[in-house]
Chains A and B, each alone.
Chain A
Amino acid sequence: MASNQTEAIESRDKQVKQYIVVQIGSEKYGIDISYVDNIVRMQKITRVPKAQPYFKGIINLRGEIVPVMSIRKKMGLEDDVITGASRIIILKIEDKGSLGVMVDAVNEVVNLTEDQIETNNISSSHAKDTFINGIGKNGDQLISLFEINAIIDEKDNV
């Protein structure tokens, strides 16, 4: 963490983007913070029959109905295991409304400058890679950065 902060100070005048780092399985993923409206604890999700399989259902977020998606299912991973660390990230997307995304845990918020983001070496051989538009290098940890549009996109990668 200490190195993070020094890095953040060093790169203040460069293009800095903030990402929320979440845990999905063993991998770390980053979500652009400008899309994130809220992070809520796991709560009762009401199943919606006949919905797309990657939709877990809907929740009541302060009187609003918000659909919740399993990013694991959308990426073709095994089903979620809900633990005390599980969270729902509420994304706010213009003209489509709010969308909840289930993650295993929320780790931290990192600042990444442009040169810390690798965009070249993204192979598209594996289906789930299409959800990622870059890899952030934060010290020795690597963070896959989500392409939000791919997450909300209708196309089914399961």
Chain B
Amino acid sequence: MDVSQYLEIFIDESGEHLQTLSDCIMELEKEPDNKDTINEIFRAAHSLKGMAGTMGFKRMQHLTHDMENVFQEVRNDTIKVDSQMIDLLFKCLDAIDGYLENIKASSDEGEEDNEVIIRELNNFLAKAEGKEPAPQETPQEAPREEAAADDADNRKYRKIDLTDSERDAVMTAKDSGLHIYGITVIIRKDCLLKAARAFLVFRAVEEIGEILVYRPSSQDIEDEKFEFDFSLYVGSPEELDKVIFAAKNVSEIEDVVGEELTDFSAKDEEKGQTKPAAVAAETKPEIKKPEVKKPEAKSQAPAKKPSGGKPATSRTVRVDIEKLDALMNQVSELIIAKNSLVSIGSTEEGGFNNQGFHEQIEYLERITTSLHESVMKVRMVPIESVVNKFPRMIRDLSRSLNKKMELIMTGEDTELDRTVVDQIGDPLQHLLRNSADHGLEDTAVRVQRGKPEVGSIFLNAYQEGNNVIIQVGDDGNGIDTEAVKGKAIERGIVTQEQADAMSQKEIIDLLFMPSFSMAKKITDISGRGVGLDVVKSNIEQLGGDVEVRTKLGVGTTFTVRLPLTLAIIQALMVVVRDEKYAIALASIANIESVPVTDIKYVEAKEVIHLRGCVIPLIRLDRLLDIEPREKDPENLTVVIVKRGDSQVGLVVDDLMGQQEIVIKSLGKYINGNKLISGATILGDGEVALILDVNTLM
């Protein structure tokens, strides 16, 4: 079976299951007795194993299987959860994650067997078995074994002893020309209503045949007195494939195995024999078996390796069906609007001036706007997928740094463009590590300072206008600006005089300079100097920025501001001489007409004093190397742009108005230009440049 087409789904879902596992294990660590959590873990581990098996990733399957066994024991209360086990489980997750990364990169799970982890897992199991014999389910599936053996285990129909009346029924059916099939149905372990599933299987099978024998008895099955499988003899005029297919179609059925039975007299003799012999004996008369075995091996037998070296998978977004419905509706409206325009064009002469035409244009505008919004929404994913791994990270850090800390997260459901979400993980991780390592004091120091022993690190995400704000911070020591200054002087980055003249903010900005590390000792967590500068440049690449607030002894907060969407923005078009520029509307505070006489000077720079704020002025013409005007007009048009708390007034010649613009890149040739973030094409085909005003503040 070629499974490569499912690879993407597999990677997606495995990732989800891993996340669930990680979350649950964290929870388990806090409340080791929570049955719900254990069940949840078991389900996730089981699904993971099933999927890995289906895809033919044997090593991954093996590891998950052993892990599942441990959970099984936990569920049965034979093993107690302890921190040693939690550590081991996390190691398992990392190993599985490793497999998954390999699969993502090369469609292959790699060669690592993780024997150490498996041995440790088995040690745990052995400990449990020392107390009492392992429950039945555990040995029931040994996926590491060859497919045939595994299969044979499940082919319980072979072991059915027929009663006389049953044999009569079977023989009668056989005589009437029906094929007799023995099948075993295996229900998924997480199935809640086993009897209902069994009933559905019966009904499906009975549509195309007659059930002659039940094992366990039909009464027992109805009463749920069976483990996870039951066997049937079916008399049917149809082929085996159809019968198996009918049974498999019922949901929550793990697998259905079966074959045609012909020789019922032989049954009695075989009965007492060992299993392998039975298999051998039965394989012989089967003609069908080899061909049905492949598809039925769906989850038990190791499937073929995905054929060909399909490289890394493409990126996908899971879309809520409601969002797609909204999209579809808008497209239908778009078509209606287009049709109305067509009919106006064809029926009325000179129709371009009439009212109906303008109404339709307005209608069209509304639709395109909402269409744009919907498409953007489709690209939006909650940041959850990124931040979910952080609690685990903080836990690990807490251990390796030997500091007590907890992570408090809010707003995980805040949505961002997929491309942004993909790239925001590393910078956030870095900030969190920073907080854990540099931010929080050692436990002893905290106690001494009268702070709670457990340090808190927080991550808050929320939407603010066209931006998403993610705050990462801690209640630790805060940044010691004097120490930063000292370090900067020591490194020769600034002179003593320069340092003395620096504002608090400027000093903190030093931290964002390349290879400026404040760590006293280098750890694997931070202090290598590839730090905040990388964070900053990563975030800026996404069109965002980062700000720091700190108070010595109280804590530090990094505020990351990211644009909600890329590609299309609302912009204000401004004119400077004969050139047109676009400024993102989101960064504009207000627009003022300022008399030239109101311009004041501070340190020989132009400023205006507006409603209690002193705002520096930037002449766009000078900034952009445009010939200055010979004489200023009486009133200057000033566009006031903001970033966080800082504001700058841009002097422009004229305003063109607000417009929705599509951002296009300038390409790879033109560079060294942070001021221009891109270009856009205006309605008349002219090109206008987009100013990134964030670089001005």
Nearest B-chain residue to A50, judged by Cβ: B673
A65 at the interface (CB under 8 A from B): yes
Stretch at the interface among B190-198, B364-372, B448-456, B685-693: B685-693
Task: Given A55-B669, A65-B664, A65-B667, answer yes or no on A49-B675 (Cβ-Cβ < 8 Å).
Answer: yes
Verify if A16 is at the interface (C-beta below 8 Å from B): no
Contact B686 A48 (CB under 8 A): no
Say whether, besides A58-B679, A65-B681, A47 and B669 are in contact (CB < 8 Å).
no
Q: Which residues of A contact B85 (CB under 8 A)?
A: none
CA distance A46 to B624 in the complex (A): 13
Q: What is the CB-to-nearest-CB distance from A44 to chain B, in angstroms, rounded to a whole number?
A: 7
Question: Is residue B672 within 8 Å, beta carbon to beta carbon, of the partner chain?
Answer: yes
Is A60 on the interface with B (CB-CB < 8 A)? yes
Judge whether A55 and B670 touch: CB under 8 Å.
yes
Closest beta carbon of chain A to B463's beta carbon, Å: 30
Q: Are B675 and A50 in contact (CB under 8 A)?
A: yes
Query: In the complex where A44-B686, A60-B685, A60-B686 touch, is A50 in contact with B667 (Cβ < 8 A)?
Result: no
Report the minimum CB–CB distance from B497 to chain A (whole Å): 31
Q: Say whether, besides A48-B670, A69-B669, A97-B667, A58 and B675 are in contact (CB < 8 Å).
A: no
Is B671 an interface residue, CB under 8 A from the partner? yes
Is there an interface contact between A49 and B676, defined as CB atoms closer than 8 Å?
yes
Q: A152 to B671: give the CA distance in the assembly, Å.
A: 13
Is there an interface contact between B681 and A58, defined as CB atoms closer than 8 Å? Answer: no
Q: A66 within 8 Å of B by Cβ?
A: yes
Q: Contacts of A65 on B, CB cut-off 8 Å? A: 664-667, 679, 681, 687
B569 CB to nearest A CB, Å: 16
| Cα–Cα distance between A47 and B624 once the two chains are bound (Å) | 10
Nearest-Cβ distance from residue B660 to partner chain A, whole angstroms? 16
**Choice from A52, A55, A58, A69 contacting B687 with Cβ under 8 Å:** A58
Contact A51 B579 (CB under 8 A): no
Least Cβ distance of A49 to chain B in Å?
4
The interface on chain B, measured as residues whose beta carbon lies within 8 A of the other chain's beta carbons, has a size of 24
Contact of A58 among B624, B626, B666 (CB under 8 A): B666
Scoring B623, B625, B666, B669 by chain A CB atoms within 10 A of each residue's CB, the highest score goes to B669
**B575: shortest Cβ distance to chain A, in Å?**
13
Contact call A46/B579, Cβ cutoff below 8 A: yes
- Tell whether, in the assembled complex, residue A48 and residue B672 are in contact, meaning their CB atoms are under 8 Å apart: no
Interface residues of B in 650-697 (CB under 8 A from A): 664-673, 675-676, 679, 681, 685-689
A interface secondary structure, majority? strand
Chain B residues, CB < 8 A from A126: none
- When the two chains form their complex, are residues A46 and B689 in contact, meaning their CB atoms are under 8 A apart? yes
Decide if A63 is an interface residue (CB 8 Å cutoff): yes
Tell me if A50 and B579 are in contact (CB < 8 A).
no
Interface residues of A in 60-100 (CB under 8 A from B): 60, 63-67, 69, 96-99
Chain A interface size, under 10 / 10 to 19 / 20 to 34 / 35 or more? 20 to 34
**Contact assessment for B625 and A59 in the assembled complex, using a CB-CB cutoff below 8 Å:** no
Task: Using CB atoms, name the residue of chain B closest to A98.
Answer: B667
Q: State A44–B578 Cα separation when bound (angstroms).
A: 12
A46 to B582, CA, bound (A): 13
Contacts of B664 in A (CB 8 A): 64-65
Q: In the complex, what distance in Å separates the CA atom of A65 from the CA atom of B670?
A: 12
Complex CA–CA separation, A67 to B689 (angstroms): 12
Closest to A64 in B: B664
Per-residue contact bits, chain A 25-69, to B (CB 8 Å; 1 contact, 0 not): 000000000000000000010111111100100111001111101
Residues of A within 8 A of B670 (CB): 48, 51-52, 55, 58, 67
Known contacts A58-B679, A63-B681, A65-B679; A46/B669 CB under 8 A? no
What's the nearest-Cβ distance from chain B to residue A67, in Å? 5
Nearest A residue to B625, CB-CB: A49
Q: Which of B467-524 contact A (CB under 8 A)?
A: none
Closest beta carbon of chain A to B652's beta carbon, Å:
14
A51 touches B673 (CB 8 A): yes
Closest chain B residue to A59, Cβ basis: B687
Q: Are B687 and A60 in contact (CB under 8 A)?
A: yes
In angstroms, Cα B667 to Cα A96, docked, is 8
Interface 0/1 of B22-49, CB less than 8 Å to A: 0000000000000000000000000000
Could you tell me the distance between the alpha carbons of A52 and B681 in the complex, rounded to whole angstroms?
Answer: 22
A17 CB, nearest partner CB in chain B, Å? 25
Q: A46-B579, A46-B688 are in contact. Are A96 and B679 (CB under 8 A)?
A: no
Q: Which residues of B contact A66 (CB under 8 A)?
A: 667
Interface readout for B574-597 with A: 1 if CB under 8 Å, 0 if not? 000001000000000000000000
A52 and B304 CA atoms in complex are apart in Å by 55
- Which residues of the other chain, B, contact A49 by a CB distance below 8 angstroms? 623-626, 673, 675-676, 689
Which of B579, B668, B676 lies in contact with A96, CB distance below 8 A? Answer: B668
Contacts of B671 in A (CB 8 A): 51-52
B-chain residues with CB within 8 Å of residue A60 when the two chains form the complex: 681, 685-687
8 contacts between A and B (CB under 8 A): A46-B686, A46-B687, A47-B579, A50-B625, A52-B670, A58-B687, A65-B666, A99-B669
Known: A49-B624, A49-B625. 18 other contacts (CB 8 A): A44-B687, A46-B679, A46-B686, A48-B673, A48-B689, A49-B673, A49-B689, A51-B670, A52-B670, A58-B666, A60-B685, A65-B679, A67-B666, A67-B667, A69-B669, A96-B667, A96-B668, A97-B669
Name A residues whose Cβ lies closer than 8 Å to a Cβ of B: 44, 46-52, 55, 58-60, 63-67, 69, 96-99, 152
Ranked nearest first, the 10 interchain pairs of A and B with the lowest CB-CB distance are: A49-B624, A46-B687, A65-B664, A51-B670, A67-B669, A50-B673, A65-B679, A60-B687, A96-B668, A67-B670
B residues near A (Cβ < 8 Å) are: 579, 623-626, 664-673, 675-676, 679, 681, 685-689
